[in-house]
Structure 1
Amino acid sequence: MSLRLSTVILPIDRWHEGGRTKWQRAEELGFHTAYTYDHLSWRTFRDGPWFGALPTLTAAATATERLRLGTLVTSPNFRHPVPLAKELMSLDDISNGRITLGIGAGGKGFDGAALGQDPWTPRERADRFGEFLPLLDRLLTEWETDAGGSFYSAAEYRNVPGCVQGPRLPFAVAATGPRGMRLAAQYGQAWVTTGDPKLYDEGTPEQSVAALRDQIDKLGKACAELGRDEVELDKILLHGFTPDRNRPLESVDAFVDFAGRHRELGFTEIVIHWPIADSDFATAPAVFEAIATEAISRLG
């Protein structure tokens, strides 16, 4: 099974002071896709520079030619499907069909209360996502959409001229629970995971592999219930949130070992963070570039 290597570039740089350079370098290094986080701010970066995901991807689309681009991940926390659909259709056009939408139910962090609302419970987030994703699918595939829901509605929304990618740009659905897995199986062209968060602090790499195997099994069962072949979905692992931490990025050998074990599970794409000094993603730039250019060919 072939494996793709992608990167995620946090939107922390002014475009003309290093931002553009990173996205162009990602293309030069041969990454399959460069993603960015669709947050209003994030964790330890909350008090520093942080730019919007969709404007950043629009700029990246004009600065690159071959590199796929995407979000990891967009959520209902501060988005509505109607304006999001129009922005995504436009971004797909500007990039000439190079956009993947990573999308999930969201979490309880800063974004969850930035609009002034109380953070939603896990059940409320799942309920909203269960309405958000099907409506977004309709908005991006139908010529005209009218929909009334408990959380999201659309009135005579026009999808003209539609996405460059047909029937719409691909969805990479982040999910671990049963409801999310069903949505990934029904609407996704890919499935995204960071592993089992309960194992991050005290788990072992072996336990993480077992948990990921279990997640893939659950995805397969969700696909089977819908009459879909699980092989149709790409399986994306966002690195950095398993018990290994950043150890797989300490050398090319370490990453090849990590990637090989996860390819055996069925993953088709691994995403690594672009180096950021003095952070959890402080990979040595020379090692990072060596991984980008050497690791996949070594996996065969």
Structure 2
Amino acid sequence: MSTYGLSVLGADLKSLAQTAHAADAAGFDAVWASEFYSRSGSISMAAMANSTQNCRIGSSILYGVGRSPLVLATEARDLDELSNGRLVLGIGNGTKRMMSDWHGVPDTSAPALRMEELVMLLRRIWNLHEGPVHHEGRFYRMNLTPTGDVGPSSRPIPIVTAGVRPRMCEAAGRVADGLAGHPLFTTTYVEEIVRPAIARGAAHTGRDANDVEIISMVMCAIHDDAEVARRELAQQIAFYSSVKSYETVLDVNGFASEGRTIREAFAQRDFPAMFAAVSEEMIDTMGVAGTAHEVREQLRRYDGVLDHIMLYSPSVGIAAERVQQNLDSIIGECSPASMSPRQSGPGST
């Protein structure tokens, strides 16, 4: 059985923390923070750690390229302490344009190798009690000698790495504890591309692929009017499909034509045309949308395909109040108790 988590969005940190608290109380396995140019993921995680007691506190994702390895390692240790050992550190590079334009990274080549080097260096920093760190890598350089005694970490902090294309998914298999998948992931893409790539990566470093948790966002919209929910999902699909870096996912699922139309409309900033280009089949395949009962039934196609299903509310072109309403519905209607097999009969509501 897959476990369930919630990608927590919020207009402010207070509402974000309140949503995390509600998800924890409803029995969700994890709550996940994200970051963008308008929100710090690490600060969001701190707010959620203080408002929850049992669930894992994860990042999906923190930008690894936006911090030095030392800053990222120390932030993670503090967050793990703050959450009493509940942290899952999810890190990613973002797209090459994000790396160069947002973070000023001069070398955006070989992103998978960059991630593998970063994961190794983070774990070495967390074990500074074993001795100084002298690292001369392709992407990172560090000479760190403690000035006093350094105690060991309280536990090995789990690291999940973001990946879409096969080589980035392979990196998770090589070095990480899990893969943070993209909202556009489908069951077909996970089974045909993701799992084989993780297996190749694990074999490369002599690991067991079953030890790598496959986590992915699943876009989810709940509304009493199913068509409203489907339109909301379509808008979010269009937003992500406008990014050329993700065309591999569309191609594997047979949506290359829709992807081209969406990107052309986005280039003209014709958002109505962009949203209209999302086919009904894309809506049925690339997320879940409809009434609460319909969504619960649709979610079952991910069970066993993903190890952890991270429910993610559409937000593109949607008022903040409606996003919060949808998050509240997800918590109330898709909690682990609601998704248990005994709730799946024809009498479910």
In which range does the TM-score fall when normalised by the shorter chain?
0.7 to 0.9
Pairwise CA distance, 1:85: 0.4
CA gap 1:264/1:24 in 2 versus in 1, 3 angstroms: closer
2:286 matched to 1:296? no
CA gap 1:117/1:213 in 2 versus in 1, 3 angstroms: closer
Give the AA of the match of 1:3: S
Pairwise CA distance, 1:81: 0.7
Pairwise CA distance, 1:192: 2.1
| Pairing partner for 1:161 from 146, 151, 171 | 151
CA gap 1:31/1:157 in 2 versus in 1, 3 angstroms: farther
Counterpart in 2 of 1:203? none
When normalised by structure 1's length, the TM-score is 0.78
Pairwise CA distance, 1:286: 5.6
| Pairing partner for 1:149 from 134, 137, 145 | 137
Give the AA of the match of 2:300: G
Counterpart in 2 of 1:278? 319
Pairwise CA distance, 1:299: 7.2
When normalised by structure 2's length, the TM-score is 0.68
| Pairing partner for 2:43 from 45, 55, 78 | 55
Pairwise CA distance, 1:56: 1.9
CA gap 1:117/1:137 in 2 versus in 1, 3 angstroms: closer
* 1:224-252 Cα shifts (integer Å, max 9, x gaps): 33332222221112112583378614234
Counterpart in 1 of 2:26? 29
Counterpart in 1 of 2:226? none
1:94-133 to structure 2, matched below 5 A, reads 94-108=82-96, 110=98, 112-116=100-104, 121=108, 123-133=109-119
Q: Unpaired segments of 5 or more residues in structure 1?
A: 42-49, 198-207
Counterpart in 1 of 2:201? 222
Give the AA of the match of 1:224: A
Counterpart in 2 of 1:84? 72
- Alpha-carbon distance in 1 for matches of 2:283, 2:80: 35
Counterpart in 2 of 1:268? 307
* 1:251-300 Cα shifts (integer Å, max 9, x gaps): 343333333222243x1110012575537957645642211254421378
Which has the greater radius of gyration? Answer: 2
Counterpart in 2 of 1:201? none
CA gap 1:296/1:141 in 2 versus in 1, 3 angstroms: farther
Pairwise CA distance, 1:176: 3.6
Counterpart in 2 of 1:6? 5
8 Å contact kept, 1:93–1:163 = no
SS in 2 for 1:97: coil
Give the AA of the match of 2:21: Q
CA gap 1:260/1:157 in 2 versus in 1, 3 angstroms: farther
Give the AA of the match of 2:22: R
| Pairing partner for 2:290 from 240, 250, 270 | 250
CA gap 1:224/1:26 in 2 versus in 1, 3 angstroms: same
2:122 matched to 1:136? yes
8 Å contact kept, 1:220–1:230 = yes
- Alpha-carbon distance in 2 for matches of 1:185, 1:247: 25
Give the AA of the match of 1:261: R
2:222 matched to 1:236? no
SS in 2 for 1:69: strand
Give the AA of the match of 2:102: A
Q: Unpaired segments of 5 or more residues in structure 2?
A: 220-236, 238-248, 250-281, 344-349
| Pairing partner for 2:190 from 212, 237, 240 | 212
Runs of at least 4 residues of structure 1 off by over 6 A? Answer: none
Which protein has the bigger helix share? 2
Count residues in correspondence: 273
Per mean C-alpha deviation after superposition, the further-off stretch among 93-102 and 227-236 is: 227-236
Percent of aligned pairs with the same amino acid: 19
SS in 2 for 1:292: coil
Give the AA of the match of 1:271: M
Give the AA of the match of 2:151: P
CA RMSD of aligned residues (A): 3.0
Counterpart in 2 of 1:171? 159
CA gap 1:223/1:30 in 2 versus in 1, 3 angstroms: same
CA gap 1:88/1:150 in 2 versus in 1, 3 angstroms: same
8 Å contact kept, 1:195–1:211 = no
Pairwise CA distance, 1:25: 1.3
- Alpha-carbon distance in 2 for matches of 1:257, 1:157: 55
Per mean C-alpha deviation after superposition, the further-off stretch among 123-132 and 278-287 is: 278-287
